[in-house]
Amino acid sequence: MPMSSAALCALAALLALSACASPASSADSAPVAPAAAADYPLAYVKAVCHVDAGCAAPQYSSEARCVLVNSGIVQKWSSAIQEVAAGKSSYDVAAAQRCFSAVQCTPQSPFLSLAPTECDVVFTGASADGATCAQDVDCAGGRCRNCVCQGLKPLGGDCVFATDCDATLACVMGKCVAAGSGKSGDTCSGNSCASGLKCWSNNVCAPLPTIVQIGEPCGNFNGVAHGDCAPDGWCFINNDGSGVCKPRSQVGGSCWNTVPFSSACADGLQCLLTAAGVATCAPLGSAGEACTSNGCRFKDLVCTGADTKTTCQPLAQVGEACTMCSSSSGIGVGCPNPCIGEATCDNGLCVAFGGDGASCATRPCASGVNCGQDKVCHAKVALGSACTESQACVTGKCDAASGKCVAYCN
């Protein structure tokens, strides 16, 4: 199952589905899965956008806009499609249909990173454990390690990712260990820490933060960690630096906490400065309405404009007008891209990323094209071709000794 949940997590997605009172898809309403593997990626995007349009709080302004904004994601399946064409992997139409039927509205679920498990087996490698491979999609078990297809590892086995180990195990420092066995202070990864502990960003098991209620002290003050507020509260910082949990504000409520603070507002709201300079909770913005960062109602809108006059604007296609936000740091600094997909805003117009031969001094190169050291986009070269850097190779690896593109396996 090369397109596993772990692999999908690494893809990082743009699309999310919002909560519905009930699932918005079923075997009867799901779009029909395509017969050809090459058509699956776009069909999957369309299937998810179809579900999103029926959610109680859709993430996109329309089904068509959802597809338009996310159509570039189909490139994420390129290796799987290539392996099917080469006979190293297979595409299961029935599995694709089950995948489409399983997509549901769920609270803020990224559609790639939290795809239904039914989607894991749409593409299946043809090579058995022990066979040579170049990537996960080549292997029936979905794991290509050191150019060899490998099965799940037992306790104490070597691993690179948690998915290399049996489902009851975790991968810590290259070894499969029992999940939930890590003690406070132990090195950790994923779910290796015991109950009541968390694997923090320093990869060490440590206690979970204390959860405090409305009216109780919160945050760190005078060297004392008071804890985090429960989900219905936010930590208001007093003038002396101490914190106290307050209820999250509704529309019109205050969200000032030394700076405008959107977490002070209830879900579905943003923190805006009024004309009088008062930080107030307000609904997320629709097209043309005021916004702060991440303050637009739909994901096909972008918050852009000058510092205090930012509004939600539709993401633009190549050739359409666009506006970069501006701040004291300069135009475009820290701004989201106002253009769809592989395009950038240049002098008020969305222009496509550079193709082979285009300059990449001021704009990125398109997928499949590399920005060379000469600041010119060059088409990536095939296995065995001369190279000076790995990103110039289709395989993703340039051998320094031979100066040629060589096969790469994870």
Domain boundaries in the chain? 5-145, 152-208, 284-352, 369-405
For the chain, the straight-line distance linking the first and the last C-alpha, in angstroms and rounded, comes to 16
Spatial separation of the C-alpha atoms in residues 121 and 91, rounded to whole Å: 9
Return phi, psi of residue 133, to 5°: -155, 165
In tens digits, the chain (410 residues) has pLDDT values of: 444 433 333 232 334 443 333 344 333 467 899 999 999 999 999 998 888 888 888 889 999 999 998 887 777 787 788 888 888 889 999 999 999 988 888 665 445 445 677 888 899 999 999 998 877 888 888 888 888 898 888 999 998 888 888 888 999 999 999 999 999 999 999 889 999 898 988 899 998 888 999 999 998 888 777 889 999 999 988 888 899 999 999 999 988 876 778 889 998 899 988 878 888 999 999 999 988 877 899 999 988 876 567 889 999 999 999 887 765 444 444 567 889 888 888 888 999 999 899 999 888 888 878 898 889 998 888 888 899 888 888 878 899 899 998 877 75
Own/partner contacts of 292-298, CB < 8 Å, gap of 24 or more, are 292/260, 292/262, 294/262, 294/270, 295/262, 295/270, 298/58, 298/59, 298/60, 298/61, 298/65
Q: C-alpha 305: how far from its chain's center?
A: 25
- pTM, 2 dp: 0.75
